[in-house]
Amino acid sequence: MSYPKFLSVKSLEKRYRDAGISENKIQFLKDLCLSCMNLYGAIHAEQLWAVYKELSEKAAVPKIQRKELYTALGIFRREDLPYYVFEPDEVYSEEPRTERYRLLVSKRLIYNGYGKFTRVYQLIEASWGKPHFVPENLLVYKDPIRDEREQKLIAWLSELSCTQTEFETRYGKKFPCAYTGKKLGEFSFISRNDEFELRYQRGEIAGRKGNAKYAVELEAELNSMTAAERLVCDYTWRSHLGVTKPTESLTYFMDDLGEMGVRLTKEQVEFLITSLIDYHNHLHLWCNCGWAPAEMGH
């Protein structure tokens, strides 16, 4: 079942007028949904209503009726936003279609092609049964800012130099390093796995059609970050999904450093591990329904 096409601005405006929901409420609900996407990654309409009710007890917000929320989500579904609003049967084929179980999902969670909902299922399973983090300032998360720990980590990584001329994979194979002589803040990292994915999506592998549009988007995303930013971005993403164990995530991190040609001293390794643990413990993770590990159980 395919997702419906997005409507024109004119058609959307008519739908909002016909719904009889004020512009102020619509903007608030958009801010609320975007904040929830940045904190939780995915959330059911019924859970979103519960988040709103809790928030309304802590902060001054527009008075919204449950029906208004469900109606607005039906329109958001037809608007090009940073998230999708899926009907239940579009994600779970056996589920009946009902407004209360519409699922808001960050576009970052959706794969192209086969297994498109894999990360959605993983996240929902990892976050199952956990209460949602609903701070008084919830709406500031509609446009989150990098915290101090992340900025310091990226700054430290940016000064690391690629001193090695070749790297060895965990399977014992050796390959030349492409970034020798550069610092991690001076280039964008395209790994061997990235190169394979790009070739696959461009249709350069025999018998594979791929997705040329996705290849262009992926390459643009990879080139938009420095190597230092990419390392932290990937580590953050694995933490959000909650599928990879922290020790395994650190292994991936070190593998990427090795492929870049970075060799760390013992002191640098200790500093990096300590910094990553501290960073992880203060991340508002999707798999924890927005709670940072340091806040869990408090």
pLDDT tens digit string along 202-261?
A: 989 887 788 888 899 999 999 999 999 999 999 999 999 998 888 899 999 999 999 999
Residue 113 pLDDT level (bands cut at 50, 70, 90): low
Structure confidence at residue 180 (pLDDT): 97
Residue 1 pLDDT level (bands cut at 50, 70, 90): low
Taking residues 177-192, what's their average pLDDT?
Answer: 96
DSSP 177: -
Structure confidence at residue 210 (pLDDT): 81
Count of beta carbons in the 10 Å neighbourhood of residue 202:
16
Q: Is 173 helix (H, G, I), strand (E, B) or coil?
A: coil
Structure confidence at residue 153 (pLDDT): 97
Dist CA 261 CA 164 (whole Å): 5
Structure confidence at residue 114 (pLDDT): 67
Residue 190 has pLDDT above 90, yes or no: yes
Dist CA 37 CA 59 (whole Å): 19
Residue 298 has pLDDT above 60, yes or no: no
Structure confidence at residue 171 (pLDDT): 85
φ, ψ of residue 106 to 5 degrees: the values are -60, 140
Q: What is the pLDDT of residues 274-285, one digit of tens each?
A: 999 999 999 999
Taking residues 15-31, what's their average pLDDT?
Answer: 96
Residue 112 has pLDDT above 80, yes or no: no
pTM for this entry: 0.90
- Mean pLDDT, the chain, integer: 93
Sign, Cα dihedral of 210, 216, 217, 219: positive
Every domain of the chain and the residues it spans: 9-142, 148-189+225-281, 193-223
Choice among 2-11, 50-59, 74-83 with the minimum mean pLDDT: 2-11
Residue 111 has pLDDT above 90, yes or no: no
Structure confidence at residue 95 (pLDDT): 80
High-pLDDT (> 90) share of the chain, %: 82
Q: What is the pLDDT of residues 36-68, one digit of tens each?
A: 999 999 999 999 999 999 999 999 999 999 999
For 137-163, give the secondary structure using H, E and C.
CHHHHHCCCCCHHHHHHHHHHHCCECC
Structure confidence at residue 237 (pLDDT): 95
Element (H, E) at 86: strand 83-86
Residue 297 pLDDT level (bands cut at 50, 70, 90): low
